[in-house]
A and B are shown apart, each in its own frame.
Chain A
Amino acid sequence: KAGVTQTPRYLIKTRGQQVTLSCSPISGHRSVSWYQQTPGQGLQFLFEYFSETQRNKGNFPGRFSGRQFSNSRSEMNVSTLELGDSALYLCASRGGRMGYTFGSGTRLTVV
């Protein structure tokens, strides 16, 4: 079965702009989580959605938001981009108690 698909793979934005990242989970998975990976910080949890509802939220400013659609696809939005937002953004889907299946990520560069 198809894995977790994230688009786009690479993105370059200017400070102050906003960006939307997309994630399509594994078919049948209802839980989608977003993580930010930066060097030295590991995987920082952003938020988790389950059946279109945000179930958990990490310690990120309100500029980071997300949503999930009825088909479980999810989008993450970052407004008023800052240089420090440059990172690899990973989406992961989960079908049960077992661990996540991750997508390949979106590499965001803010200049």
Chain B
Amino acid sequence: DQQVKQNSPSLSVQEGRISILNCDYTNSMFDYFLWYKKYPAEGPTFLISISSIKDKNEDGRFTVFLNKSAKHLSLHIVPSQPGDSAVYFCAASDYNQFYFGTGTSLTVIP
């Protein structure tokens, strides 16, 4: 049973525009959320995280929003750049284990 879901397998965005990647989860015990970015032939790299006590965390062009009532988080990338083209995984933790979504492949078109 997939506790963390990324329902959009792929997303294409023009360079300079906003990219919004979405993630839904089912377990209300999750209290820590992360986004990872993965290039082909490389392992995922940590991008940004948010604790359940917050609803927004910003780091440069990347902002993560958390809506606990909807069990939904999103990653906003503004402005999008061609180098952002990668697969993005969201992950959630209940302190015991991390659960990953299936990933969204982002393509930023120059």
Spot the interface stretch: B11-19, B67-75, B97-105.
B97-105
With the chains together, A56 CA to B100 CA distance in Å? Answer: 15
Q: CB of B42 within 8 A of chain A? A: yes
Contact partner, B97, options A4, A6, A56, Cβ 8 Å: A56
Write out the residue numbers on chain A whose beta carbons fall within 8 Å of the beta carbon of B43.
4, 6, 90, 92, 102-105
Write out the residue numbers on chain A whose beta carbons fall within 8 Å of the beta carbon of B82.
none
- Name the residue on B nearest A90 (C-beta): B43
With the chains together, A35 CA to B43 CA distance in Å? Answer: 11
With the chains together, A69 CA to B34 CA distance in Å? Answer: 28
Write out the residue numbers on chain A whose beta carbons fall within 8 Å of the beta carbon of B101.
42
With the chains together, A48 CA to B96 CA distance in Å? Answer: 10
| A5-48 with Cβ < 8 A to chain B | 6, 33, 35, 40-43, 45, 48
| B3-55 with Cβ < 8 A to chain A | 6, 9, 32, 34, 36, 41-46, 49
Q: Which residues of B contact A (CB under 8 A)?
A: 6, 9, 32, 34, 36, 41-46, 49, 89, 91, 93, 95-103
